[in-house]
Amino acid sequence: MWAVVKANAYGHGLVRAARALSAADGFAVLDMEDAVRLRAAHPHHGVLLLEGIFQAEEAVLLAEHRITAVVHEPGQIAILRAAVASPGSIAVCLKLNTGMNRLGFPADQARAVYQALRELPQVGEIGLMTHFADADGEGIAGQFQRYEDSVRGLAGPRSVANSATLLRFPEARGDWVRPGIMLYGGSPFSGQSAESLGLRPAMHLTSSLIAVQSLAAGDRVGYGHTFQAPRSMRIGIVACGYADGYPRHAPNGTPVLVGGRRTGTVGRVSMDMMGVDLSLIPDAEIGTPVTLWGAGLPADEVASAAGTVSYELFCALAPRVPVSETAQFHTGDGQI
């Protein structure tokens, strides 16, 4: 399994997450710098560069640090051809475009490109990968068939499955699965909770109340006055805002836990603060703990209220948010 730890491990911290996910066989990242860091910290793991290399100097690093590079366009083959590296020292993963139309050689070129790579003395193992566009929706049938047809008879490990594929299509696991979001406890499916999939959140974004306001009916809250009190009510002000990575476009009523009880946001999220409804939480006061997402409040729910996905919430977590490592990552029972 390649544990996908791109984008700073989906906001969880590259080094920290990789350590917690060391039961994986390897790590998949985007930046060469991250790949080299992982190699140094994890000498026995695979390291995969998901977009491959862009410059000639990087080819040497692949061999030196035993990093596997995705090869998705002809320029990357040209770079490899010119690289001064010992025979068989560079492992690659040939990426085929089977319908996502983002990265990859057209599937019907698989054989020719494979052959071109095979003829490069620098190249060792050649993996065969593709990426599905809608494993969480319509499914993978068309793309998977195209992939299977294009790689038939070619030697090398297969890698096709992101989290949604891994959970929904066991027949399409291949040799190396590539889960990301599920490792962090997020659901890849909009209609299915992480909990129902047996996933537990790794990230708990918490804060506390730093002020309480008593509103009269008709009083309004925050920038733009987007919330108006329908009756007299109490609201709390939470020390968390969009500068922490909380989505600014979260509407009134986005779920939040105050003192462990569920309520909703009121008013527009500002840079460092946001309002929450305390109508049904009379004992809430300054200092009462608040969970923006995590245990008891799945990030997927918050994301859905804000019109996004947990991936985006996690990745947006701002560097200024202090991180304490209390919970352990749950690496499962080793079946994948």
Ligand X SMILES: *Cc1c(COP(=O)(O)O)cnc(C)c1O
Which residues would be at the binding site for ligand X (CB under 6 A)? 4, 6, 50, 131, 162-164, 178-181, 188
Residue 179 or 259 having the CB closest to ligand X: 179
Residue 131 or 146 having the CB closest to ligand X: 131
CB of 62 to ligand X, least distance (A): 18
Q: Provide the pairing of β-strand 123-129 with 90-97.
A: parallel
Q: Which amino acid is at 294?
A: G
CB of 197 to ligand X, least distance (A): 12
d(CA 325, CA 320): 15
Residue 127 or 188 having the CB closest to ligand X: 188
Contact 8, 14 (CB under 8 A): yes
Phi then psi dihedrals of residue 262, to 5 deg: -80, 130
Phi then psi dihedrals of residue 164, to 5 deg: -60, -40
Active-site residue 6, yes or no? yes
DSSP state of 274: E
Residue 52 or 188 having the CB closest to ligand X: 188
Q: Among all residues, whose Cβ is closest to ligand X?
A: 180
Classify the C-alpha dihedral 216-222-223-224 as positive or negative. Answer: negative
Q: Which residues contact 332 (CB under 8 A, 6 or more apart)?
A: 23
CB of 215 to ligand X, least distance (A): 41
CB of 310 to ligand X, least distance (A): 10
Determine how many CB atoms are found less than 10 A away from the CB of residue 188: 25
Q: Which of 10, 184, 223, 246 is catalytic?
A: 223
CB of 90 to ligand X, least distance (A): 19
d(CA 210, CA 261): 17
Residue 184 or 246 having the CB closest to ligand X: 184
Helix, strand, or coil (residue 116): helix
d(CA 184, CA 203): 7
Question: Which structure tokens are listed for 104?
Answer: 């990859």
CB of 127 to ligand X, least distance (A): 12
d(CA 70, CA 32): 12
Q: Which of 6, 114, 184, 242 is catalytic?
A: 6
Residue 6 or 146 having the CB closest to ligand X: 6
d(CA 297, CA 279): 19
d(CA 200, CA 202): 6
Active-site residue 223, yes or no? yes
Question: Which structure tokens are listed for 155?
Answer: 């030697």
**What positions carry a catalytic annotation?**
6, 223
